[in-house]
Amino acid sequence: MIKTFKLFVGGFPRDLEEVELEEIVSEYGQVVAVKIVRDKKTGISRRFGFVEMAFKEDARRVIEMLNEGTIDGEVL
């Protein structure tokens, strides 16, 4: 089993899609997976999710660069 580094990401805009979140995070390293948590009944984003990074250094870089950052005016 390959070890990955899972990060919680929250506070992003409700209309942000997984592919967009992956594009943003991939600027800082190799992304393994992205999952936005959605309401089971409506399918609407709950404004948080998880990003798995391939390397610990990449995960740290994401935290350093995006923590308290903004996406479309919403603070992460």
pLDDT tens column, 25-56: 999 999 999 999 999 999 999 999 999 999 99
**Helix and strand counts by DSSP (H, E) for the chain:** 2, 5
Q: How far is CA 17 from the centre of its chain?
A: 10
| Residue 18 buriedness (CB in 10 A; 0-12 / 13-18 / 19+) | middle
Question: In angstroms, rounded to a whole number, what is the distance separating the alpha carbons of residues 73 and 25?
Answer: 17
pTM of the model: 0.91
Q: How far is CA 40 from the centre of its chain?
A: 19
Q: How far is CA 64 from the centre of its chain?
A: 13
